[in-house]
Structure 1
Amino acid sequence: MWSSEDLDLDAYLAFLGYEGDRAPTLGTLRGLQRAHVLNVRWDTLDSFLYREVRLDLPSLQDKLIRRGRGGYCFEHVTLFAAVLEKLGFDFTAVSGRVQLGADQYRPRPATHAMILVDIDGTRRLVDVGFGNSPLEPIELVDGATSEAGPWPYLLRWQEITHGSPGWAVHQRGDEESWQVRQVFTENPQYAVDYAVGNHFVASNDRSPFVIRPFVQRLRTDRYDTLDALTWTTERPGGTPSKQTVEPREVPKLLDDVFGIRTDTEEAALLVRRLTELAEAPPARQLPELPR
């Protein structure tokens, strides 16, 4: 179903630096999720530069593994689903609604891809495509938490949209409060469903990923983002630091800070598009990114 016959599993695991067990166990799942989130890069450059994001497995492996570029949730989850299928895991793909900046009465579309893995008599949320994703699977029970990464997460069963119940992933907000990051149900999704959502996110004029680039990198002690020309670094318990960068500085910043490689031609195109973005009159305020 997820084209695992086209997957070069050895190349993927080598890129992750993963040398652990390959049996479909919870320990393997934990190791793979942590290695994927920390090593496979996250960016929206294809949407910003080309208005096209390919989800076929050969293209994903070439882009994310061989060329060292980044992708967003549909790409990460499609690749990770092929890995899980190849290794024999029992799982279901699902879609979620990013809730940051929205509410249950004005929801965003369900365009965030995730996976639910059934293992050892439990069902666990595996979210490898958010950028600052959890570093471990979260058991699908009300009140479950994850403390594996630099920021904690809380899973609750609650009303999520217009009186409908479902699951909500909470993250730490200001003053140690919790805020809903994304909501989802257990309704199965398939590759064709992701193709539809991906088409909107990658190419529609109203998609924030078309308007400007967004890049993320999570480490165990910091979280960096590049939103257009604003570079932000956050550390657990610290105050975020922000600075504005010049378009010509971005390719080197991507390499040095985010670990994302662009070739000469793509770097030149990126600088040109960012220069045009910086010089364009502010016809409207850039929308908040659904991250």
Structure 2
Amino acid sequence: MHLSSYLARIGIDGPPPPTLEGLRLLHRAHLLSVPFENLDVQLGLKIAIDREPTFEKIVGRRRGGWCFEMNGVFGWALAELGFRVTRLSGGVMREKNGALAEGNHLVLRVDLDEGVYLADVGFGDGPITPMPLREGAFVANGFRYELTPLGEDWWRLADHVSPTPLTYDVKIAPADEAQLAGQCAMLQTAPASPFVQNLVVQRQREGGITILRGRVLRQVRPDGADERLLESADDLLAVLAGEFGLDVPEAAALWPKIVERHEALFGG
């Protein structure tokens, strides 16, 4: 694992300083370069929470990943650069699902001279910039987000990219690593897991986000969105390569499952 290889993967020539400006540069560069994706889950391949195989996947094979992978590698890189980083347990839709959601998301706390920030490069359409840990709404890449304190060290992020806001809660205390590992294992095997049920690939752009969910490819902007349906396995591979920079020819085998899932959700 070489820091220089990671920096090259996200398009940064040299190591930035461990400052707010440096954190913002790294956070944006990672999200513009490395897509959120669950292809391995869809292909039935085990995802490890360990750092070395994750680094090899994202940097060596130029793939993307989900929160445990993306924030895992990002947190390692930040620490190597001299940032003070703490891994935190998050809970996507804890607002609805309560304690069952806790640990299903990994977030990073970064302590800077300028204050405490949350860094999250593993939430797909989350903020492209790190978030100051303070109450209130903010805009990142043209999209609106909001942080709210809940008490007992919990905070809630509301993501307003989609018409129906998506939320996750994060506890500002060192993560329970066993809980994270358990959720990582469950989310890639449980039949009810959204990552088992649906292909999801997302990549931030300047001024927008490209989102693939099953057959539906959407180009989302702050003022609206365009979408189209993928038509074939070849179309899927072309979109993965062209929109997300992913060369995964084995993903063609997913096409029948993708079509079946689309018909179940939306009809023929």
Query: Shorter-normalised TM-score: what interval?
Result: 0.7 to 0.9
Is 1:254 aligned to residue 247 of structure 2? no
TM-score (norm 1): 0.81
Give the match's secondary structure for 1:36: helix
Which stretches of structure 1, 4 residues or longer, exceed 6 Å deviation after superposition? none
TM-score (norm 2): 0.87
> Which residue in 1 is equivalent to 2:44?
50
State the alpha-carbon separation in 2 of the partners of residues 171 and 64 from structure 1: 25
State the alpha-carbon separation in 2 of the partners of residues 137 and 55 from structure 1: 23
Give the match's secondary structure for 2:24: helix
Q: Which amino acid aligns with 2:254?
A: R
> Which residue in 1 is equivalent to 2:222?
236
Which of 165, 172, 185 matches 1:199? 185
> Which residue in 2 is equivalent to 1:223?
209
Q: Which amino acid aligns with 2:154?
A: G
State the alpha-carbon separation in 2 of the partners of residues 276 and 186 from structure 1: 39
1:135-284 matches, cutoff 5 A: 135-143=128-136, 145-158=137-150, 166-172=154-160, 179=165, 181-189=167-175, 191-262=177-248, 267=249, 269-279=250-260
How far 1:51 sits from its partner (Å)?
4.1
- Count the aligned residue pairs: 265
Deviations 1:31-61 (A, max 9, x none): 1111111111211010110241123222122
Task: Check 1:152–1:21 CA distance in 2 against 1; reply closer, same or farther (3 A cut).
Answer: farther
Question: Given that residues 247 and 274 in structure 1 are in contact (C-alpha distance below 8 angstroms), is that contact kept between their aligned partners in structure 2?
Answer: yes
State the alpha-carbon separation in 2 of the partners of residues 21 and 174 from structure 1: 34
> Which residue in 2 is equivalent to 1:85?
79
State the alpha-carbon separation in 2 of the partners of residues 276 and 151 from structure 1: 32
How far 1:232 sits from its partner (Å)?
1.7
Give the match's secondary structure for 1:250: helix
State the alpha-carbon separation in 1 of the partners of residues 209 and 157 from structure 2: 19
Q: Which amino acid aligns with 1:89?
A: F
> Which residue in 1 is equivalent to 2:110?
117
How far 1:165 sits from its partner (Å)?
6.9
Question: Given that residues 38 and 201 in structure 2 are in contact (C-alpha distance below 8 angstroms), is that contact kept between their aligned partners in structure 1?
Answer: yes
How far 1:125 sits from its partner (Å)?
0.8
> Which residue in 2 is equivalent to 1:16?
10
Task: Check 1:215–1:281 CA distance in 2 against 1; reply closer, same or farther (3 A cut).
Answer: closer
How far 1:83 sits from its partner (Å)?
0.8
How far 1:223 sits from its partner (Å)?
1.5
How far 1:246 sits from its partner (Å)?
2.1
State the alpha-carbon separation in 2 of the partners of residues 127 and 86 from structure 1: 17
Question: Given that residues 138 and 146 in structure 2 are in contact (C-alpha distance below 8 angstroms), is that contact kept between their aligned partners in structure 1?
Answer: yes
Question: Given that residues 28 and 129 in structure 2 are in contact (C-alpha distance below 8 angstroms), is that contact kept between their aligned partners in structure 1?
Answer: yes
Unmatched segments (≥5 aa) in structure 2: none
Question: Given that residues 233 and 242 in structure 1 are in contact (C-alpha distance below 8 angstroms), is that contact kept between their aligned partners in structure 2?
Answer: no
Q: Which amino acid aligns with 1:31?
A: L
State the alpha-carbon separation in 2 of the partners of residues 10 and 191 from structure 1: 27
Give the match's secondary structure for 1:216: strand
Unmatched segments (≥5 aa) in structure 1: 1-6, 287-291
State the alpha-carbon separation in 1 of the partners of residues 75 and 153 from structure 2: 26
Give the match's secondary structure for 1:135: coil
How far 1:113 sits from its partner (Å)?
0.9
State the alpha-carbon separation in 2 of the partners of residues 52 and 121 from structure 1: 39
How far 1:211 sits from its partner (Å)?
2.2
> Which residue in 2 is equivalent to 1:62?
56
Task: Check 1:85–1:275 CA distance in 2 against 1; reply closer, same or farther (3 A cut).
Answer: same
Question: Given that residues 89 and 176 in structure 2 are in contact (C-alpha distance below 8 angstroms), is that contact kept between their aligned partners in structure 1?
Answer: no
Q: Which amino acid aligns with 1:80?
A: F
Deviations 1:199-247 (A, max 9, x none): 1112222212122311111101221211122212212202442324323
